[in-house]
Amino acid sequence: MRSIVEGWQARAACRGPQASAFFPPSTAERKEQKLAREQRAKAICRTCVVQRECLEYALRIREPHGIWGGLNEAERKQLVSQQAG
């Protein structure tokens, strides 16, 4: 039986070769490179039919890395803080 997570992930716009934009590279990344990579990832998120499910998942599991649901790590932390306060 397929899980709910697998269902929405299968429909995610980030699947495929563009997935590398959603996580930092294994080598050092300059600030301007990070910002450009995150902007590319967020642009893909804006077209995604499962953006909300993705963000909800990342918030629920407290995902510490990458772009999920159109938000980076710091933006997700800020959202959690706002929801708690």
Question: Is 45 labeled as ligand-binding?
Answer: yes
CA–CA gap between residue 16 and residue 13 (Å, rounded): 8
Number of compact structural domains in the chain: 1
85: confidence class by pLDDT, cuts 50, 70, 90: confident
Q: What is the mean pLDDT of residues 19-27?
A: 93
What's the pTM? 0.86
Supply the angle between the helices 31-46 and 51-61 in degrees, to the nearest 10. Answer: 130
CA–CA gap between residue 74 and residue 77 (Å, rounded): 5
Q: Are 47 and 13 in contact (CB under 8 A)?
A: yes
2: confidence class by pLDDT, cuts 50, 70, 90: very low
> Per-residue pLDDT tens for 36-71?
999 999 999 999 999 999 999 999 999 999 999 999
Q: Are 59 and 80 in contact (CB under 8 A)?
A: yes
Full domain range(s) for residue 27: 4-84
Chain mean pLDDT for the chain: 91
Question: Is 37 labeled as ligand-binding?
Answer: no
Q: Are 68 and 57 in contact (CB under 8 A)?
A: yes
